[in-house]
Amino acid sequence: MLRLGIDIGGTFTDFALIDGSARRTVIHKRLTTPDDPARAVLEGVASIADEAGIAVGAIEEIIHGTTLVTNALIERRGAKVGMLVTEGFRDTFDIGQEQRYDLYDMRLRFAEPLVPRRHRVEIAERITHTGAVLTPLDEAAVRSALAYLVETEGCEAIAVCYLHAYRSATHEEATEAIARSLYPEIPVSTSSGVFPYAREFERWTTTCANAYAQPMVDTYLARLTDGLAEIGFAGRLAIIGSGGGLMSPETARQHPVRLLESGPAAGVLMAARLGEAHRIDNLLSFDLGGTTAKGALVRGGKPFKTYSFEAAHAYKHKSGSGLKLQIPVIDMAEIGSGGGSIVRIDQLGLMRVGPESAGAMPGPVAYGRGGKEATLTDANLVLGYLDADYFLGGAMRLDAAGARNALDARGKPLGLETLRTAWGIHDIANEDISRAFRMHATERGFDYRRSGMAAFGGGGPIHAARIARKLKVPQVVFPAGAGVMSAFGMLSGAAQFEVIRSHRTAIDALTGDDFKRAFAPLEEEASAYLLSAGLAPEAISIERRLDMRYRGQGYDIEVALPPGDPAALLAALPALFDAAYGAVFEVTLDEPVEIVSLKVEASGPRPVPVPILAKATGSAEDALKGSRMAYFPTAGGLIDTPVYDRYRLTTDAEVTGPALIEERESTVLLDAGDVGTVTPSGDIVAAIAL
């Protein structure tokens, strides 16, 4: 098939086209258009088709990831949402979790609720934690509340959030039916439909975020599908979710909150594929783009996944200051240290890199688009790591003089000359990223010193070797096409949808038939999304997992069930839980065990990977393009550094650092003593001199 992956980032929009029959790939990269993200997508689709020598109509599938929802939450550009809430619980968002995320900081800020208090209307109804009706739903109050929210307040979306709706959805479903009959044009999100999970604060925040993004995502996808049709695309469009699975546009419209982190999730999928290809069981995925750097962990070929996610931090990117959401998402650490991260001087007179970013407009000073603030990209250009005449393969010339002037303006007040300023910026970014990755891995019991690293994104290959050295990671994989790796990751994902239900019960109170019956509706619901996307029933595989804990504990751990009939697996649950608990805590307890929730993931088949680079011919010496002055402190400072053409490096060729290896979308930096070897797939695997 001809398949196209598209990743919209904060600075660049990336395109990767795979021609499965001809076993070839085509790559394209262009600046994002923040005022209308679909414009960059449509222009890029036409451009990459032209570069590949095909008609847009020949593309059979487009897989798309976007930061649209993430940016909407950060910038508060979503819909005006009205919320119907159980009587007595209107102020849940303002009360929050009654916790300070930093005990000693008097300037703490928490994320403002997406729904202001005047748009939260209490409804007389109550369902108990067992699912029994305590107070019937007041349908007249529902109609009155909807009229007030829509007609008086002008709300554009409705969130229905009732207590214990995860146990019984009858009141929420009845409210949704009333809303759709009165105002069919207004989208409605119910907490039981978005994420039916215990803990109302997170469930309601997630539901409101879904409603907040729904009109915008619907408009964007309509603009995208119409625009693609106008330029001749008649194939299948899929959207990648935060958990790494592919969704149809219809499912994405229904669950837009699951599009958070969709682009970065695709990059982690590709990192997992690299780990499999190079037989590296444990891998640290490192993606440095134009706006942020992201790290994720892969163990045994599978990325770490979580179901709690914090978006739109309100204070210094600190955990606890954001919107707490519950969605399936690949577990990532995100740091505001991207190529466009702006350099500031803090109150202590020290340089800081990010988290503010110059983005795509105006971008770094070096882009020549009106930027005035020094950024990480400007520093890397002045250090000699980037070629001003070969950025994006020469399609975009960089302004080296402008970058130097911006660095001088930042460094002179500190008494620093230009080169020292540039190196300080580069090394501060490396240290910030290393610190974040160190904490992320340590908190999850992941020993990065015995793992490898996969480095991608436009800036990842420049920084990876030095970050690996700081972390004592012995091996780094620099994949071919690293600059658009998230776009390639789109093409490695399978159609997927995950359903989760709170289901608290002691395992000694269950029978095998009870256990099997509990999973049945989840399996049917998860499969339905894939069937509606056109998959055949026999192509769908089911994976079952449980959240379990010792009775009396406040937190749980995930236990994967082996394939087979759930009824036959009930007796094995205590041993499976003990093994999972012991792997995390190194001890087990002699206490009764209970199930907290059930999880079912339905997946389609994974695509077969296609080599990204064509086989190079000639010798390693032929790949030497020349040299330029670049800054390598471990080799003596500013030195004449060999520069290699990645497209001409042959299998088994070795490059010893200090060296720079250029491709159109990124540059690999090998520091002194690092040795990179080209694999048959065109990847470079570097042994890091620790």
pLDDT one-digit tens code per residue, 53-72: 999 999 998 998 887 788 78
Tell me which of 311-315, 543-547, 611-615 is least confident.
Answer: 611-615
Q: What is the mean pLDDT of residues 122-143?
A: 95
- The alpha-helical segments, DSSP class H, found in 368-459 are 376-382, 400-411, 418-443
Cross-strand partners of 559: 546
User: What residue type is assigned to position 260 of the chain?
Assistant: L
How does the average pLDDT of the chain come out, rounded? 89
Which domains are seen in the chain, by residue range? 2-73+219-259 (3.30.420.40), 78-213 (3.40.50), 262-337+427-490 (3.30.420.260), 341-426 (no CATH), 496-603 (no CATH)
The whole-number pLDDT of residue 617 equals 61
Of residues 618, 686, 689, 606, the one with CA closest to residue 654: 686
The whole-number pLDDT of residue 614 equals 58
Alpha-carbon torsion angle 208, 213, 215, 221, nearest 10: -150
Cα–Cα distance between 484 and 507 in angstroms, integer? Answer: 47
Share of the chain above pLDDT 70, in %: 97
| Ramachandran class of 51: left when φ > 0, alpha when ψ lies in -120 to 50, beta otherwise | alpha
Alpha-carbon torsion angle 141, 144, 149, 154, nearest 10: 170
User: What is the enclosing helix (H) or strand (E) of 597?
Assistant: strand 593-603
Question: Helix or strand or coil: residue 70?
Answer: helix
The whole-number pLDDT of residue 609 equals 66
The whole-number pLDDT of residue 509 equals 86
pTM of the predicted model as reported, rounded to 2 decimal places: 0.83
Of residues 627, 649, 624, 650, the one with CA closest to residue 639: 627
Q: What is the mean pLDDT of residues 417-432?
A: 94
Residue 355 phi, psi (nearest 5)? -80, -10
Instruction: Give, in order, the Cα–Cα distances in Å from 374 to each of 317, 360, 457, 669.
Output: 21, 14, 20, 22
How large is the greatest C-alpha to C-alpha distance in the chain, in angstroms? 80
Alpha-carbon torsion angle 530, 532, 535, 540, nearest 10: 30
Of residues 610, 681, 672, 627, the one with CA closest to residue 650: 681
Cα–Cα distance between 271 and 276 in angstroms, integer? Answer: 9
Cα–Cα distance between 492 and 486 in angstroms, integer? Answer: 10
The whole-number pLDDT of residue 615 equals 62
Cα–Cα distance between 113 and 116 in angstroms, integer? Answer: 6
The whole-number pLDDT of residue 246 equals 83
* Cα 60 from chain centre: 25
CB of 314 within 8 A of CB of 108?
no
At 67-80, the pLDDT tens digits run 778 878 877 888 99
Write down the residue that tokens 């990325």 correspond to.
303
Tell me which of 261-265, 395-399, 550-554 is least confident.
Answer: 261-265
At 72-127, the pLDDT tens digits run 887 788 899 999 999 999 999 988 877 787 888 888 888 889 999 999 999 999 99
Q: Residue 176: CA atoms inside 13 Å, Cβ hemisphere, count?
A: 19
